[in-house]
Amino acid sequence: YDFSKPKIYLERIASKHNLYLVDLRPELLKAQTTDPINWPTDVHWNENGHQQVANILFTYLEKTGLLLR
Protein backbone atom coordinates (compact mmCIF):
# COMPACT_ATOMS: atom_id res chain seq x y z
CA TYR A 1 0.00 0.00 0.00
CA ASP A 2 1.25 3.47 -0.91
CA PHE A 3 0.88 5.58 2.24
CA SER A 4 1.57 8.76 0.27
CA LYS A 5 -1.69 8.47 -1.71
CA PRO A 6 -4.04 9.69 1.05
CA LYS A 7 -1.73 12.63 1.75
CA ILE A 8 -1.61 13.61 -1.92
CA TYR A 9 -5.40 13.33 -2.17
CA LEU A 10 -5.94 15.43 0.96
CA GLU A 11 -3.41 18.03 -0.20
CA ARG A 12 -5.35 18.44 -3.44
CA ILE A 13 -8.64 18.90 -1.58
CA ALA A 14 -7.09 21.36 0.90
CA SER A 15 -5.52 23.38 -1.89
CA LYS A 16 -8.70 23.45 -3.96
CA HIS A 17 -10.76 24.70 -1.00
CA ASN A 18 -8.08 26.94 0.53
CA LEU A 19 -7.86 24.84 3.71
CA TYR A 20 -4.99 24.27 6.10
CA LEU A 21 -3.62 20.74 6.24
CA VAL A 22 -1.33 19.50 8.99
CA ASP A 23 0.58 16.32 8.22
CA LEU A 24 0.87 14.58 11.60
CA ARG A 25 2.62 11.50 10.29
CA PRO A 26 6.29 12.63 10.33
CA GLU A 27 6.13 13.87 13.92
CA LEU A 28 4.13 10.87 15.11
CA LEU A 29 6.64 8.51 13.53
CA LYS A 30 9.42 10.28 15.43
CA ALA A 31 7.44 10.24 18.69
CA GLN A 32 6.71 6.53 18.59
CA THR A 33 10.41 5.68 18.61
CA THR A 34 10.59 6.66 22.29
CA ASP A 35 7.10 5.74 23.55
CA PRO A 36 4.20 3.93 21.87
CA ILE A 37 1.51 6.24 20.51
CA ASN A 38 -1.06 3.50 19.87
CA TRP A 39 -2.81 0.93 22.01
CA PRO A 40 -1.14 -2.49 21.73
CA THR A 41 -4.36 -4.10 20.50
CA ASP A 42 -5.26 -1.65 17.69
CA VAL A 43 -4.17 1.47 15.83
CA HIS A 44 -6.08 4.03 17.92
CA TRP A 45 -3.97 6.62 19.71
CA ASN A 46 -3.29 6.08 23.38
CA GLU A 47 -2.78 8.91 25.89
CA ASN A 48 0.73 9.60 24.57
CA GLY A 49 -0.55 9.67 20.99
CA HIS A 50 -3.22 12.23 21.87
CA GLN A 51 -0.65 14.36 23.71
CA GLN A 52 1.71 14.22 20.73
CA VAL A 53 -1.06 15.34 18.36
CA ALA A 54 -2.00 18.18 20.70
CA ASN A 55 1.65 19.30 20.79
CA ILE A 56 2.00 19.11 17.00
CA LEU A 57 -1.20 21.11 16.42
CA PHE A 58 -0.33 23.70 19.08
CA THR A 59 3.10 24.24 17.53
CA TYR A 60 1.56 24.53 14.05
CA LEU A 61 -1.02 27.06 15.24
CA GLU A 62 1.65 29.12 16.99
CA LYS A 63 4.04 29.11 14.01
CA THR A 64 1.33 30.09 11.53
CA GLY A 65 -0.15 32.81 13.73
CA LEU A 66 -3.52 31.05 13.80
CA LEU A 67 -3.50 30.68 17.58
CA LEU A 68 -5.61 33.39 19.15
CA ARG A 69 -4.55 34.49 22.59
Cβ neighbours around 32 below 10 Å, total: 14
Single out the residue of 22, 13, 26, 32 nearest to residue 63, CA to CA.
Answer: 22
CA quadruple 62, 20, 3, 41: dihedral sign: positive
- Give pLDDT, residue 1: 76
- pLDDT over 90 at 60, yes or no: yes
> Per residue in 6-29, pLDDT tens?
999 999 999 999 999 999 999 999
pLDDT (tens digit, 9 = 90+) per residue, 33-59? 889 999 999 989 999 999 999 999 999
pTM: 0.82
Report the SS3 class of residue 57. Answer: helix
Looking at residue 17, what is its pLDDT? 98
Q: Output the pLDDT for position 6.
A: 92
